[in-house]
Amino acid sequence: VYMSVYGPMIFVTNQWGGGDRVAGILARRLAEKMRKGMTLSAAMKASGMDFDPQEIAIVEAAEEWGRLPRGLRHLSDFQRAQRD
């Protein structure tokens, strides 16, 4: 799970600078929660201010439809559009 979340998060966090480092920190926080049985969206919600509600909604929809990898790509596209 950690590696599948880490890749898309590098782009997501590059907007803050130091994307690799920040993505690693966020991915570790999420992985800890997911190892305890949380879904990715629940882990994102539990992370407090780290994620916008729109980002969580994208992941929730992807989970519900069983298309999480595609949802993470959409999350990356959403972040790119926000940045541009």
Per-10-residue mean pLDDT of the chain, 84 residues long, equals 47 53 78 91 86 87 90 81 72
Task: Count helices and strands (H / E) in the chain.
Answer: 5, 0
Find, among 62, 27, 61, 65, the residue nearest to 47 by Cα.
27
- The pLDDT value recorded for residue 20 is 64
pLDDT number for residue 1: 40
Q: How far apart are the first and last CA of the chain?
A: 29
